[in-house]
Amino acid sequence: MVDQQHTHDRNSMVWMEKISKKFGTITALQEVDFGVEGGEVRALLGDNGAGKSTLIKILMGVYQPTEGQIYFEGKPVKIGSPREARAVGIEAVYQDLALVNLMSISRNFFLGREMIKSLGPFHWLDTRKMDEICLRSLHDVGIEIRSSSERVGSLSGGERQSIAIGRGIHFGAKVLILDEPTSALSVAETRKVLNYITNARERGLAVIFITHNVHHVYMLADSYTVIRHGKNVGTYSKGDLSEDDIADLITGDREI
């Protein structure tokens, strides 16, 4: 049993302690511990329906835990809504839920954080400034776009991911949550996205990489947390286990 070798405590960047979530009579999560440090990529692994997305939605403020406590930078916090999550620096980069395809890159970049010009009681969008800043700050993290007025829907999956990641870095996110970021991408695009994730880690961000496929994350993650049927299976450091061992833990084919 290698369990809990990689110990976290309440002083991590994020620490979710004994989180339980019930939907009516169904127990989705039962006393799950999960956390991530700054400058670390933590993989959250589990089969479909294991409770990964429920756990992350609790961290994002979409759901409230039935029991348990979240600590952020050592302090107990209550995250009541996605807005509050973002205010403390938790940024989600969901495959389909990060960007609005019908809107331009810069409108997506500043969505919910628009820059405003005012004259008396009138407020309007400072679109020129937003376009400029969007272009420049994406450039700064190594993402080149043709124009910030281009629609997100016309970009490739990898480009979309990178824009969501770049947005998080620009707005000073401390925790990036990536939900299956590479599952629909080509090999070349996956490599680019993994590069951006590495870049975020170098900048000291805590990265949570959610996937059901250990192969997508084995090279990149510093540690792994596996959950199954809403319970912790264990948390392991890089090198503790082989890819196959982890795959077996996800499915429950073999206890280690």
Partner 1 sequence: MVKMEGLLRAPDTWQNKLRRTFSESTIAGPAAVLLIIFALLSIFVPNFFTFRSITGILNAVTLTGTLTVGVTMLMIGGEFDLSVGSLMAVGGYAYGTLCMAGQPALGLVLGLVIPALLGSLNGLLLVWTGIPSFIVTLGTKYFYRGMLWVVTAGTMLQTIDRLPIYNLFNGRLDVLNNLFKAANFRTALLWLLLLVIVFQFLLVRTRFGNHVFAVGGNPGAALGQGVNVKQIRVLNFVITGALAGFAGILLFSQYYTVRVASGDGLELSAIAAAVVGGTMITGGAGNIWGALVGALIISTLRTGVVLMNIPFIPADNFDAIVGVTIVLAAILNTYLRSRA
Choice between 19 and 152, CB closer to partner 1 = 152
* Binding-site size, partner 1 (CB under 8 A): 49
List phi, psi (to 5°) of 206.
Answer: -90, 130
Strands 223-228 and 41-45: parallel
Among the listed residues 97, 132, 251, 254, the single contact to partner 1 using CB under 8 A: 97
78 binds partner 1 (CB under 8 A): no
Rounded Cα–Cα distance for residues 208 and 31 (Å): 19
List phi, psi (to 5°) of 173.
Answer: -65, 145
200-219 residues near partner 1, rule: CB under 8 A:
202
Among the listed residues 3, 124, 128, 244, the single contact to partner 1 using CB under 8 A: 124
The beta-strand segments (E) located in 180-220 are: 206-211
Please identify, among the stretches 1-9, 20-28, 70-78, 79-87, the one whose residues bind partner 1 according to the rule CB under 8 A: 79-87
Please identify, among the stretches 45-53, 87-95, 210-218, 242-250, the one whose residues bind partner 1 according to the rule CB under 8 A: 87-95
Please identify, among the stretches 9-17, 148-156, 206-214, 238-246, the one whose residues bind partner 1 according to the rule CB under 8 A: 148-156
Q: What is the DSSP letter of 12?
A: S
Among the listed residues 15, 63, 72, 196, the single contact to partner 1 using CB under 8 A: 196
Minimum separation from the CB atom of position 4 to partner 1 (A): 31
| Token reading at 101 | 């395809």
CB contact set of 138 (below 8 Å; sequence gap of 6+): 105, 109, 144, 145, 148, 163, 166, 170
Asked if 181 and 150 count as a contact pair (C-beta separation under 8 A), the reply is no
Minimum separation from the CB atom of position 114 to partner 1 (A): 5
182 binds partner 1 (CB under 8 A): no
141 binds partner 1 (CB under 8 A): yes
62 binds partner 1 (CB under 8 A): yes
Strands 206-211 and 75-77: unpaired
DSSP secondary structure string, 132-159?
Answer: HHHHHHHHHTT---S-TTSBGGGS-HHH
Tell me the CA distances in angstroms from 139 to 153, 157, 163, 254, one per residue in order: 20, 18, 10, 46
222 binds partner 1 (CB under 8 A): no
Total H helices, total E strands in the chain: 7, 12
Minimum separation from the CB atom of position 147 to partner 1 (A): 4
Please identify, among the stretches 29-37, 106-114, 237-245, 248-256, the one whose residues bind partner 1 according to the rule CB under 8 A: 106-114
What is the contact surface with partner 1 in residues (CB under 8 A)? Answer: 60, 62, 81-83, 86-87, 92, 94, 96-103, 107-108, 111-114, 116, 123-125, 127, 141-147, 149-151, 154, 158-159, 162, 191-192, 195-196, 198-199, 202
